[in-house]
Chains A and B, each alone.
Chain A
Amino acid sequence: MSDTNTATKSPAPSRAIAFSVRDAGTLIGLLIIFGIFAVLAPDFLTSRNLINILQQSSINACLALGMTLVIISGGIDLSVGPTAAVSAVITATLLVSGVPVPIALVGGLVIGALCGLVNGLLIAYAGLQPFIVTLGTLSTYRAVALIYTGGNPVLGVPQSFRALFNGSVAGIPNSVVMVAIVAVLAWVLLRKTPLGEYLMAVGGNEEAAYVAGVPIALTKIAAYVISGVLAALASMILIGRLGAAEPILGNLWELDAIAASAIGGASLMGGKGSVAGTLLGAIILGSMRNGLTLMNVQAFYQLLATGLIILVAMMIDRVTRGRG
């Protein structure tokens, strides 16, 4: 009822600044983690290891960028892991049967897009809850991958394909370069295109967005399709690295992706999220794992640390942002 009457009374940071304050917070968190590991693990702060961290984070960052768009739209995509698996086994099969690399690559991305499209259609037109739809497709897509391969890995991914993902440009691994390009595109999408505005609007207040003429269904579908394509891309980075596609790959990827988005400031209520924050979130998770491994900490404790980082990040978020 009586909020401050006019905007003039209490000066507050502008939206653009407020956003970067949140991102700056994530960055500070990352720097603190870096600082701690720099002291505890002597090899941590070498340029080689830092590049390592980026490479290890690239798959999750790729997924998390798509996840962030979905979360901003007010949804969630639990099916990214199995989507990646379906796309991986089909891409690998195409490659093994001699299909040229570019075609196999596009084919794999199209498979990812189709998986996302199914999610989007069920959510936008059948009016089902995103959580439930993608929980259902989580199992369905995994089953597809398992049935398609009979449960066996697809081996023998050709060197030409692997080189594409394992090479490097000026010392930076190709996978990192690719994800960086994806991030720039995602940033442009979110900040500079009508679709980005629509994602924010649909997640912020769907009814108002509808009355204002925003194409709700298309916006949601676009988010899931992008998420599917990025899941497919992430799977290719992995099979490029491994040289084989397992139908069980991507297990629990969705949780890491959601964690990166959330640490980066995406609100699961929708309408809020940032590309820079998501990248930082993914790197935070990646450097935790990397640093703890360097310190020879048992995997159990790595899991514990990851869990705590997420909870601490959310608590800091809560306290600094106040209520709501």
Chain B
Amino acid sequence: MNVSRLSFEGITKEFPGVKALSSVSFEIAPGEIHALLGENGAGKSTLLKILSGVYRPTAGDVRVDGVAQAFRNPDDARRAGIAMIHQELQQVPNLTVAQNMFLGNSITTLGGLVVKRREQERRAAEVLSMIDPGIDPSQPISSLRVAQRQVVEIARALLNKARIVAMDEPTSSLTPAEFDRLADIIRGLSASGVAVIYVSHKLDEVFSVCQRASVMRDGQLVGIADLASTRPDQVVAMMVGRELANEQHQSFRTEEVTMSLSGVSTQRIRNVSFDLHRGEVLGIAGLVGAGRSEVLRAIGGVDRITSGTVTLRGKPLSISRPRDAINAGIGFLPEERKREGIIPGRSVTSNVALASLPAFSRGGIIQHSRVRKTAETLLQRVNLRPFLLDRPIRLFSGGNQQKAIIARWLAAGSKFLLFDEPTRGIDIGAKSEIYRLIEQLAKEGHSVIVVSSELPEIIRLSDRVLIMRDGAVAAELARHELNEETIVAHAVGTASGKSGREEQFNV
């Protein structure tokens, strides 16, 4: 069998004014698990959209088992045996597992008028039993966890006898334990001859599941790596086109205490106390659900504090809504920027100015020239090229959106910056830029708290780390005590110093 299951031959895609892909060629063998890597904007999505029939290539061929395909729409691609599993699962929450699996393809009787639900559920159960017998085909999709919903999507692919399964960021909301399960399922697919395309930002996962990787940059294929003989940093270098400097932690921590929490509790956290210093970057680690983000949300006025006090420079502060925190100089940068950070349709400038409009107004009228000047200066400071600032912020990358939100708090004069997962959804190149910005903020005398699931990130940034467990602070580690094993041990409660389960960490 020398025929590739899937081959791209000279795929080029042009949009008006933009060449999104230029002459991309690579092949995937039956049963191969192939990673597709690249920064945001490298062209991965465009390629997947061509594979799934959403776009038609300007030039080049997609071949399945050697046969050139001309997909006119996603349905054609599905019929050719291609299944896409999207990052945001496309399922109807109120329908059952089986109904979702047969959506658009129902088994019917009486000339298509009546759906044979029993029959659908029986066949769904058959397929599910091969990968996750715990899922009942008659339960509604909304009652499943994200990981299980993903399994349903894979089962659907199997049901359609897919020969090629493309997964776009399948693990972005999975815990590592769930990832392990998914990895087993993927290996099962591969063993049955299905070719898998795996798109992910998480290199550790790529290295543990995939055999080869195609790396894209600026719409071109820059190389194909055999992962067994390649190091992650080599792959990163291919992706970003330069070696990421191996950066060292820098500390600007002073002895001056600027913020103290004493016995702060909310519905989700209990009795949290700590001091934050001027120029300090305080890391907060812990398992997902341990209450890390909730500490920030309490200080930021998003969650209600039920007891305890927050003291700023010796003065107790009463926070009952975000505005109170903002007025006290606290800026909260939420994890889900799309949901809680940006106003998508508004310009970058508007987004930057949003928290400090009264200060930019005279006689009730916003002085737009002043807003603009301030925004330009600040955006330069955070390294966001100060042009096209009138464009809606949703058109910018995650990294640039994050920079705009940093600028928002600088505009509001915030002295305390609370980052919840500062680099979530931000590509590798922009990550280190955000790190340098956080250090720059600390150097300028801001006090920073960083919550992160990524231990290398916590260790790279923090002068000190608090570890949360079950809503309370379980441990505090000084800079010199920081290593991944110790943090994990405290997070899971086996603090003998031995590495515990690395569950829910992206080590």
Is A272 an interface position by the 8 A CB rule? yes
Give CA–CA (A194, B427) in the complex, Å: 34
Is A47 an interface position by the 8 A CB rule? no
Is B504 an interface position by the 8 A CB rule? no
Asked whether B400 lies within 8 Å of A208 as measured between CB atoms, the reply is no
Asked whether B300 lies within 8 Å of A211 as measured between CB atoms, the reply is yes
Q: Which residue of B lies closest to A272 (CB)?
A: B345
Give CA–CA (A4, B17) in the complex, Å: 12
Q: Which residue of A lies closest to B408 (CB)?
A: A212
Q: Which residue of A lies closest to B425 (CB)?
A: A1
Contact with A along B340-360 (1 / 0, CB 8 A): 111111110010011101100
Chain A residues, CB < 8 A from B361: 193-194
Contact with A along B405-433 (1 / 0, CB 8 A): 00010001000000000000001000000
Chain B residues, CB < 8 A from A16: 390
Asked whether B354 lies within 8 Å of A192 as measured between CB atoms, the reply is no
Asked whether A3 lies within 8 Å of B17 as measured between CB atoms, the reply is no
Asked whether B390 lies within 8 Å of A211 as measured between CB atoms, the reply is no
A1 with B354, Cβ < 8 A, contacts A8-B385, A212-B408, A271-B343 known: no
Q: Which residue of A lies closest to B367 (CB)?
A: A192
Give CA–CA (A169, B131) in the complex, Å: 79
Q: Which residue of A lies closest to B49 (CB)?
A: A2
Give CA–CA (A213, B325) in the complex, Å: 9
Asked whether B87 lies within 8 Å of A1 as measured between CB atoms, the reply is yes
Asked whether B392 lies within 8 Å of A193 as measured between CB atoms, the reply is no
Asked whether A193 lies within 8 Å of B340 as measured between CB atoms, the reply is no
Asked whether A2 lies within 8 Å of B41 as measured between CB atoms, the reply is yes
Asked whether A210 lies within 8 Å of B322 as measured between CB atoms, the reply is yes
Distance (whole angstroms) from the CB of B363 to the closest CB of chain A:
10
Give CA–CA (A8, B397) in the complex, Å: 11
Give CA–CA (A2, B346) in the complex, Å: 20
Q: Which residue of A lies closest to B322 (CB)?
A: A213
Is B174 an interface position by the 8 A CB rule? no
Asked whether B302 lies within 8 Å of A211 as measured between CB atoms, the reply is yes
Is B42 an interface position by the 8 A CB rule? yes
Asked whether A1 lies within 8 Å of B169 as measured between CB atoms, the reply is yes
Contact with B along A1-32 (1 / 0, CB 8 A): 11111111111101110000000000000000
Chain A residues, CB < 8 A from B18: 4, 9-10
Interface residues of A, count at CB 8 A: 36
Chain A residues, CB < 8 A from B42: 2, 5
Q: Which residue of A lies closest to B218 (CB)?
A: A5
Asked whether A6 lies within 8 Å of B343 as measured between CB atoms, the reply is no
A7 with B391, Cβ < 8 A, contacts A2-B42, A205-B343 known: yes
Asked whether A192 lies within 8 Å of B366 as measured between CB atoms, the reply is yes
Chain A residues, CB < 8 A from B345: 200, 204, 271-272
Chain B residues, CB < 8 A from A192: 365-366, 368
A208 with B388, Cβ < 8 A, contacts A1-B45, A5-B39, A6-B400 known: no
Asked whether B322 lies within 8 Å of A212 as measured between CB atoms, the reply is yes
Q: Which residue of A lies closest to B199 (CB)?
A: A1
Q: Which of A190-235 contact B (CB under 8 A)?
A: 192-194, 197-198, 200-201, 204-205, 207-215
Is B505 an interface position by the 8 A CB rule? no
Is A99 an interface position by the 8 A CB rule? no
Q: How large is the interface on B (under 10, 10 to 19, 20 to 34, 35 or more residues)?
A: 35 or more
Q: Which of A40-63 contact B (CB under 8 A)?
A: none
Is B100 an interface position by the 8 A CB rule? no
Chain B residues, CB < 8 A from A7: 385, 387-388, 391, 395-396, 400
Q: Which residue of A lies closest to B46 (CB)?
A: A2
Chain A residues, CB < 8 A from B325: 213
Chain B residues, CB < 8 A from A172: none
Q: Which residue of A lies closest to B337 (CB)?
A: A208
Chain A residues, CB < 8 A from B46: 2
Is B334 an interface position by the 8 A CB rule? yes
Asked whether B346 lies within 8 Å of A193 as measured between CB atoms, the reply is no
Chain B residues, CB < 8 A from A198: 357
Contact of A2 among B44, B326, B350 (CB under 8 A): B44
Is A188 an interface position by the 8 A CB rule? yes
Give CA–CA (A192, B388) in the complex, Å: 20
Contact of B322 among A9, A14, A201, A211 (CB under 8 A): A211
Asked whether A12 lies within 8 Å of B340 as measured between CB atoms, the reply is no
Contact with A along B372-400 (1 / 0, CB 8 A): 00000000000001011011100111001
Is B168 an interface position by the 8 A CB rule? yes
Q: List 30 A-B contacts (CB under 8 A).
A: A1-B87, A2-B38, A2-B41, A2-B44, A5-B41, A6-B396, A6-B397, A7-B387, A7-B395, A7-B400, A8-B385, A14-B390, A14-B391, A15-B346, A15-B347, A15-B392, A193-B366, A197-B350, A200-B343, A205-B339, A205-B344, A207-B339, A208-B340, A208-B341, A208-B343, A209-B354, A210-B302, A211-B340, A213-B323, A271-B345
Please give the residue numbers on chain A whose beta carbons come within 8 Å of chain B beta carbons, in ascending order.
1-12, 14-16, 188, 192-194, 197-198, 200-201, 204-205, 207-215, 271-272
* Extra contacts besides A200-B345, A211-B340 (17): CB < 8 Å: A1-B168, A2-B40, A5-B42, A7-B385, A15-B347, A194-B364, A197-B354, A200-B346, A204-B344, A204-B346, A205-B343, A208-B341, A210-B322, A211-B332, A213-B322, A213-B325, A271-B345
